[in-house]
Amino acid sequence: MLVLEKNPAWMQLQQHQATLKDLSLPQAFAQNPQRATQLSCQAAGLFYDFSKQLINQETLPLLIELAKQQKLNTAIAALKNGEAVNNTENRAALHHLLRAKEAPQDNAFLADCYQKINVVKQRMKAVADDIISGKRLAPCGKPFTHIVNIGIGGSDLGPTMIYQALKPYQQENIRCHYVSNISAFDLQRTFELIEPEQTLFIIASKTFTTLETLKNADAAKTWLSAYVTEENLGKHFYAVTSSPEKAVTYGIDESAIFPLWDWVGGRYSTYSAIGLSLTIGLGYDNFEALLNGAADMDQHFFNAPLEQNMPVIMALMGVWSVNFWHKNTLCIAPYDARLRRFPAYLQQLEMESTGKSSSLDNQKIGHATCPSIFGEAGTNSQHSFFQHLHQGTDFTPVDFIVAAQGVEGYQEHQDWLFSNCLAQSQALMSGKTETQAGFEQHKSMPGNRPSSTIMMQALTPKALGALLSLYEHKVYCQSVIWQINAFDQWGVELGKKISTEIHAAMFDDEKLSQFDASTQQLLQRYKQQKG
């Protein structure tokens, strides 16, 4: 069992937390006029205010001490230098290289990867430019007007979220659609929206074995073949995968396959050819601006000292909350409806990366790791679960994300949106005493509930790229402190295997008996009721 509680920095933090049990955030602000500026930082166009966390001036230095004891600096260098930080699969994690602005020096492996990345980027750009300009037409002779990305998890969540977040940058005459679920609703709804003869399908799957994606791709092929000739069918499909041979076997033309590499994790792959739909739907320049924003944050992360390093500080605020205040939830509240899918994107990024309980050296671990993540765009969230955040029996830390500039032409809306965002963090912190509540207990609010605010000037491709990189590196830092591998996901395999067995039992009664009584009963009902 890996026990971090014997680590001297950990012990010091535990003692320190005990002294802060009665910390009053409103008082801390009143006593120190510099608190807000001292507990904020900026990088790559983002401003991070963590002054409403349950900390004082001693907390961050102690957390930095923990980071040092866990050799965070060495781990950051390992990530940067392409070492096999994904130890269970013996792979590097080079999502940062996908957006690097310059070729790496003195590292042949990285230089080779960089060169491969650039070849693919050039192809992505050519395809996007040709489709947007109309140089490349659909086989029917008209422009492509619909792009359907078929993928799930990391092959869907990033592109879907980014396409929606960057609505003002969308190409006018091209619409991107995202189909992920094996529940056929997404597929059905998309078929209703698209012009078959002017649609390009992208089958995005790192492994090219994912059930949902392959079934949806099959359905798309069948559907499309009612509208286009067999000869032209293949001209409506691209594939993005790290197993090109599987895509070829599936029937995709070799020239229509974009490669991906094992050193890019699925949930970190948006910046690779998994982002092909974005290059067409937003234009290559906007995709590149997203990569540049991420690259700026990468540079900050790789070079800034720990105590001024935004992803490091954010990671440490999380560790502080999870391991020393024992909070196992985190709320993500983006105050921009265009970021509606951001919490879902982060759920995969964080929970698939650090929702783990075995250590890098294969021991069970004795400390808490990733909190449960939930969220929704503000102000909608205020009218659903914020009641729980304000008056629930336990507290959940919140990440507020907000831009100074909102949807163009709606300044009044933006002023109210921003006011609401600040009002929520203020209300969580200051609360309302029983006296202030006129001795009506049900109106009082405990306050002292922590939050951080990430602010940007506007939700541009560059700012969004920086935001994504910020969270990716935060996750990595936490994995280093918790001593877990952020880049594998063995926990999702068992369910996939069992679903295949259950599917087989659906058509074979003998196989049914191997399951528990509950599963058998539900399956029997399914068979009776499926119609």
Which residues are identified as catalytic?
A: 352, 383, 496
In the numeric block, the tokens 């060169």 are attached to 115
CA–CA dist 147, 162 (Å, integer): 15
| Of 35 and 267, CB closest to ligand F6P | 267
Region of 169-177, 203-211, 280-288, 407-415 interacting with ligand F6P (CB under 6 A)? 203-211
158 binds ligand F6P (CB under 6 A): no
Region of 50-58, 200-208, 277-285, 463-471 interacting with ligand F6P (CB under 6 A)? 200-208
In the numeric block, the tokens 């399951």 are attached to 515
25 binds ligand F6P (CB under 6 A): no
Nearest Cα residue to 38 out of 17, 56, 25: 56
The C-alpha R_g of the chain, in whole angstroms, comes to: 25
155 binds ligand F6P (CB under 6 A): yes
Burial letters for 26-59: b for 16+ Cβ neighbours within 10 Å, e otherwise?
eebeeeeeebeeebbbebbbbebbbbbbbbbeeb
| Of 273 and 331, CB closest to ligand F6P | 273
8-state DSSP, 251:
T
207 binds ligand F6P (CB under 6 A): yes
Region of 204-212, 217-225, 251-259, 298-306 interacting with ligand F6P (CB under 6 A)? 204-212
Binding mask 361-400 for ligand F6P (x = CB under 6 A): ----------------------------------------
Contacts of residue 510, defined as CB under 8 A and 6 or more positions apart, other chains included, come to none
Angle between helices 72-80 and 461-482 (to 10 degrees): 130
277 binds ligand F6P (CB under 6 A): no
CA–CA dist 505, 323 (Å, integer): 43
In whole angstroms, how far apart are CA 53 and each of 29, 375, 452? 11, 19, 7
Nearest Cα residue to 7 out of 71, 76, 70: 70
* From candidates 154, 371, 397, 461, binder to ligand F6P by CB under 6 A: 154
77 binds ligand F6P (CB under 6 A): no
Applying the rule CB under 6 A, the residues between 110 and 149 that interact with ligand F6P are none
* From candidates 16, 206, 462, 473, binder to ligand F6P by CB under 6 A: 206
* From candidates 16, 121, 146, 267, binder to ligand F6P by CB under 6 A: 267
12 binds ligand F6P (CB under 6 A): no
489 binds ligand F6P (CB under 6 A): yes
| Of 104 and 266, CB closest to ligand F6P | 266
Residue 318 CA from chain centroid, whole number: 16
Give start and end residues of each alpha helix (H) in 263-410.
276-281, 284-303, 310-319, 342-346, 353-354, 386-391
| Of 379 and 489, CB closest to ligand F6P | 489
* From candidates 3, 184, 492, 504, binder to ligand F6P by CB under 6 A: 492
From the CB of residue 233, how many other CB atoms can be counted at a distance below 10 Å? 15
Length of the chain as a residue count: 531
Q: What is the amino acid identity at position 84?
A: A
CA–CA dist 354, 406 (Å, integer): 33
| Of 270 and 430, CB closest to ligand F6P | 270
| Of 422 and 492, CB closest to ligand F6P | 492
Smallest separation (angstroms) from ligand F6P to the CB of 109: 23
| Of 351 and 389, CB closest to ligand F6P | 351
Angle between helices 284-303 and 72-80 (to 10 degrees): 150
Question: Which residues face 331 on adjacent strands?
Answer: 374, 398
Region of 106-114, 205-213, 314-322, 430-438 interacting with ligand F6P (CB under 6 A)? 205-213
205 binds ligand F6P (CB under 6 A): yes
Smallest separation (angstroms) from ligand F6P to the CB of 208: 7
Nearest Cα residue to 265 out of 95, 75, 66: 95
* From candidates 213, 216, 369, 479, binder to ligand F6P by CB under 6 A: 213
159 binds ligand F6P (CB under 6 A): no
CA–CA dist 389, 307 (Å, integer): 29
Residue 369, token pair as written in the block: 């790791």
Smallest separation (angstroms) from ligand F6P to the CB of 529: 28
Find out whether 363 and 409 touch, Cβ atoms under 8 Å.
no
* From candidates 82, 266, 318, 397, binder to ligand F6P by CB under 6 A: 266
Region of 21-29, 68-76, 201-209, 356-364 interacting with ligand F6P (CB under 6 A)? 201-209
CA–CA dist 457, 293 (Å, integer): 13
Smallest separation (angstroms) from ligand F6P to the CB of 476: 16
| Of 52 and 267, CB closest to ligand F6P | 267
| Of 159 and 283, CB closest to ligand F6P | 159
Give start and end residues of each alpha helix (H) in 153-210.
157-165, 185-193
Contacts with ligand F6P by CB under 6 A lie at: 152-155, 205-207, 210, 213, 266-267, 352, 489, 492
